[in-house]
């Protein structure tokens, strides 16, 4: 039976969804399928934490490069830093020899923030959509996008900037970054038209069959439909096939939980064309695995029996032995005990989308509160809902979220009340127009984040951060603000910036959250390197959702547990502090279940797993 997402494929396809649901695997598999059907295909990753290159074992660049194993397939990864540097040079280059060095330095600094990065990145994105010459050689252009919140922002930008250019009458507060926007007016309008045209564009919402993933997909479906993207398809990935249960209580519980979630699909998803892809025994890496992935639908892999899978070179054999590296602690107890030695501090949970940052942050917050400490749990993730994970009231615990819309509204109001109070009517009108700039979104979130950081000097603040790319933009804003303060205050004055708080190991503990899989561990290591450039260093690693720590007996789940071994050993050898959390039969939501994550014990596993 043909998959819906591969039927009458339009020119542009967007794969989006919550982090960790398999967007990249499905986008890459679709690209392979179309190329092997004789089409010329360009695969584009707009995810700041892209791993398309790792999936194909090919080094990619910001311009198309061929995938050697697949004729007709080219791929590129947009690089926000490279795009921003090129954008800066276009503005600074022509005046570098005309202005004093101090002015050039000021202009360069003004172009160093996240606003410039965002504009430069979406300029590349809109060119691919609106400039026929840039993709004329291809029949299809497939976008592997960042996790949902970041993607909605990206897809909204062409319209936001078109509106701002059309209605803005004053000089924007981010004039430096915006100085090249006017000439892109036609490109933005063309991108908006392409996104809203169902004959040219299809949006593929990817979700796993669990409530949080489906709820986020439903929110994205509604918001993107409101922005004109109504040709939507739903792909449910990693569905446990019926024969995977095999008398395993854990597998049976996971399958039952999935089926319940599928029966209760959110209303926004119920009428969408739908495909179901079965859970694979191993990671989907390499062309053979990508080719076979889309042979898996209706909830069962094309090769579901153990004998067939044993012959597959790209997947581990079913029924193999597995174990946990010696001494790897299961549960968060040791980490929480060490944190609780103080009565305040900042704990930031970071990582790729979909690795369980919200759960880990909520569990740490609940455990600290139950030990009698005052705790503020919050999130910088536009799609984050920590209150939905904690659910129950907990003494000493306050749960909030930094809502971008509310943060922007509060920022605009504050600027108008302060800076605007000293302006005449014309000046206030110009300032109000400035504040409509989409650049102010990151600035507003940064200010809200900074205010919360100050609380960490007198209580615990636990932050569930946005997926990697968005968090790095926030840290970029933090660094830019720090440099501006240092320059304006001079060496003799005492001050404390948000970046200085983050760099203080006595105050801030960074917790990297990952999964025991190739790509999440690789991306966590890359994030660690990005943080090091800002002199920020992880305090601990948490490996979440480990089947090896859960002790499954199902052949399929045991094969996946066996594949975790090398990744668990890598983290154990690399990190100073490590905790592992097992895959659980019941989702860890609600205060009681969250607190249990601090008091887990390893599941004994014999060489046969029985």
So which residues are the catalytic ones?
20, 22-25, 47, 519
Phi, psi of 340 (to 5 degrees): -75, -5
Give the separation between CA 503 and CA 474, rounded to whole angstroms. 15
Tokens of 521: 């561990």
Alpha carbon of 455 to those of 60, 347, 361, 505, 507: distances in Å?
A: 43, 12, 17, 16, 11
The one-character DSSP state at 279 is: P
Give the separation between CA 577 and CA 329, rounded to whole angstroms. 9
Give the separation between CA 581 and CA 513, rounded to whole angstroms. 10
Give the separation between CA 247 and CA 360, rounded to whole angstroms. 30
Given a contact cutoff of 8 angstroms between Cβ atoms, the answer to whether 437 and 173 are in contact is yes
Give the separation between CA 474 and CA 498, rounded to whole angstroms. 11
Cross-strand partners of 512 = 350, 541
Give the separation between CA 122 and CA 141, rounded to whole angstroms. 16
Tokens of 317: 């054999």
Given a contact cutoff of 8 angstroms between Cβ atoms, the answer to whether 18 and 205 are in contact is no
CA dihedral (485, 486, 488, 493) positive or negative: positive
Q: Which of 122, 135, 128 is nearest to 180 (CA)?
A: 122
Helical H runs in 227-356? 249-263, 267-270, 287-293, 306-310, 333-339
Tokens of 417: 């009340």
Given a contact cutoff of 8 angstroms between Cβ atoms, the answer to whether 343 and 108 are in contact is no
The angle formed by the CA atoms of residues 50, 55 and 61, to the nearest 5 degrees, is 50
Give the separation between CA 345 and CA 572, rounded to whole angstroms. 25
What is the 3-state composition of the chain as percent helix, strand, coil, each rounded to the nearest 5? 50, 15, 35
Helical H runs in 267-379? 267-270, 287-293, 306-310, 333-339, 357-370
CA dihedral (207, 210, 212, 215) positive or negative: positive
Phi, psi of 391 (to 5 degrees): 65, -55
User: Strand order in 397-399's β-sheet?
Assistant: 397-399, 375-379, 460-464, 345-350, 508-514, 538-546, 578-582
Given a contact cutoff of 8 angstroms between Cβ atoms, the answer to whether 494 and 322 are in contact is no
Tokens of 381: 């993730």
Given a contact cutoff of 8 angstroms between Cβ atoms, the answer to whether 140 and 39 are in contact is yes
Give the separation between CA 417 and CA 414, rounded to whole angstroms. 5
Unique residue bearing structure tokens 């079965």: 278
Give the separation between CA 28 and CA 126, rounded to whole angstroms. 21
Tokens of 607: 């060489």
């Amino acid at each position: 039976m043909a998959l819906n997402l591969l039927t009458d494929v339009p020119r542009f396809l967007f794969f989006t969804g919550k982090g960790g649901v398999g967007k990249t695997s499905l986008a890459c598999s679709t690209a392979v399928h179309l190329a092997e059907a004789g089409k010329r295909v360009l695969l584009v990753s707009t995810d700041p934490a892209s791993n398309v290159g790792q999936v194909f074992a090919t080094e990619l660049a910001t311009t198309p490069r061929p995938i050697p194993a697949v004729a007709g397939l080219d791929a590129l990864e947009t690089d926000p830093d490279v795009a921003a540097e090129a954008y800066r040079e276009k503005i600074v280059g022509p005046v570098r020899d005309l202005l004093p060095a101090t002015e050039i330095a000021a202009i360069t600094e003004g172009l160093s923030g996240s606003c410039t990065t965002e504009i430069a990145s979406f300029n590349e994105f809109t060119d691919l959509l609106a400039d026929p010459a840039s993709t004329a050689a291809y029949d299809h252009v497939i976008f592997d996008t960042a996790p949902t919140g970041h993607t909605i922002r990206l897809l909204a930008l062409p319209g936001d900037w078109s509106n701002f250019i059309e209605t803005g009458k004053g000089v924007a507060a981010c004039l430096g970054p915006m100085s090249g926007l006017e000439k892109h007016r036609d490109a933005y309008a063309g991108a908006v038209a392409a996104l809203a045209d169902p004959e040219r564009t299809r949006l593929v919402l990817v979700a796993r069959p669990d409530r949080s993933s489906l709820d986020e997909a439903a929110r994205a479906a509604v918001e993107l439909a409101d922005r004109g993207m109504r040709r939507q398809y739903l792909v449910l990935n990693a569905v446990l096939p019926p024969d995977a249960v095999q008398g395993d209580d854990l597998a049976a519980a996971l399958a039952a939980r999935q089926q319940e979630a599928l029966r209760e699909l959110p209303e926004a998803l119920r009428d969408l064309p739908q495909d179901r892809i079965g859970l694979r025994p191993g990671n989907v890496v390499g062309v053979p695995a990508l080719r076979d992935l889309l042979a898996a639908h209706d909830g069962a892999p094309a090769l579901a029996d153990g004998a067939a899978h044993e012959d597959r070179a790209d997947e581990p054999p079913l029924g193999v032995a597995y174990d946990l590296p010696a001494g790897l602690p299961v549960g968060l107890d040791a980490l929480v005990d060490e944190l609780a030695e103080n009565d305040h501090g900042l704990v930031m949970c970071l990582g790729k989308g979909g690795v369980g940052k919200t759960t880990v942050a909520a569990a740490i917050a609940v455990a600290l509160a139950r030990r009698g400490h005052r705790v503020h749990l919050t999130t910088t993730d536009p799609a984050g809902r920590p209150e939905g994970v904690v659910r129950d009231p907990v003494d000493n615990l306050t749960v909030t979220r930094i809502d971008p819309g509310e943060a922007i509204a509060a920022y605009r109001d504050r600027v108008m009340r302060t800076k605007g109070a000293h302006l005449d009517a014309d000046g206030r009108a110009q300032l109000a127009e400035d504040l409509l700039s989409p650049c102010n979104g990151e600035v507003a979130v940064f200010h809200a984040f900074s205010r919360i950081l100050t609380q960490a000097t007198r209580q615990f603040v636990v932050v569930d951060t946005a997926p990697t790319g968005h968090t790095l933009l926030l840290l970029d804003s933090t660094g830019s603000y720090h440099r501006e303060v240092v320059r304006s205050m001079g060496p003799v004055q005492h001050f404390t910036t948000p970046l200085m708080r983050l760099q203080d190991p006595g105050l801030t503990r960074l917790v990297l959250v990952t999964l025991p899989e190739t790509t999440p561990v690789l991306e966590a290591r890359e994030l660690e390197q990005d943080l090091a450039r800002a002199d920020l260093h992880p305090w601990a690693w948490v490996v979440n959702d480990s089947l090896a720590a859960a002790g499954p007996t199902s052949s399929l789940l045991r094969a996946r547990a066996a594949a975790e071994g090398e990744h668990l050993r890598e983290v154990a050898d690399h990190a100073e502090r490590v905790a592992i959390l097992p895959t659980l039969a019941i989702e860890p939501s609600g205060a009681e279940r969250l607190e249990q994550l601090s008091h887990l014990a390893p599941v004994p596993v014999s060489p046969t797993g029985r």
